[in-house]
Amino acid sequence: MDLRYLVIEGNIGTGKTSLCKLIAEKRKAKLFLEQYADNPFLPKFYENPERYSFPLELSFLADRYNQLKSSVSSFDLFNELIVSDYFFMKSLIFSAHTLQEDEYKLYRQIFNIIYSTLPKPDLYVYLHKNTDLLLKNIAKRGREYEKNITAEYLKGIETGYFNFFKQQNQIKIVIIDTNNIDFVNNSKDFEKIENTIFNNEYPMGITRLIL
């Protein structure tokens, strides 16, 4: 498959950013990562979701738009591979889970205005991992602001992603079950998932795979 713009996403703790870095290094690709760690609302949100969900989602929306508009849109998609650990639609998935109904309606109006102006990926890869493994990975990396993440929250995010996938027929989406592989610490597992991404042709819509 001839890819120029590859998006790899997944729930919190799936290793999506690690996989993006590995692929970018291996294939000399341009790497675009979400700058979530610098968001001042993120620690506040995990402490008090009800109060800080709306400013958090608005700030993510602005940050993602600015990065994609200034970087991906102006980048030479014909000559070099771009690998990103997020797609702009992520803003809608997370906000649907975190915002109140009236807030979400307003948020979606803003989202719809700018979504159509952004480039769409040649392939969208979603890394699936069971909630218990996600919680182990989150605990292992030891980020203080993630200590309050619950299994219920992770399941809600997963549901949001799957609901989004059902509505898509103009994007190639590959859902890869990664419960039985460790592409970060096992080079053979990395080769397996890399080959799965780059050496197959996928139709529009959803393709589900287990590695």
Three-state SS letters, 83-104: EECCCCCHHHHHHHHHCCHHHH
Query: For residues 173 and 205, what is the distance between their CA atoms, to the nearest angstrom?
Result: 6
State yes or no: is 63 an active-site residue: no
Closest CA to 18 of 39, 3, 33: 33
Cα 71–197–139 angle (5° rounding)? Answer: 75
Q: Report which secondary-structure segment, H or E, holds 191.
A: helix 187-198
Catalytic residue among 85, 102, 177, 182: 85
Query: For residues 9 and 60, what is the distance between their CA atoms, to the nearest angstrom?
Result: 16
Identify the three-state secondary structure at position 4. coil
Residues forming the active site: 85
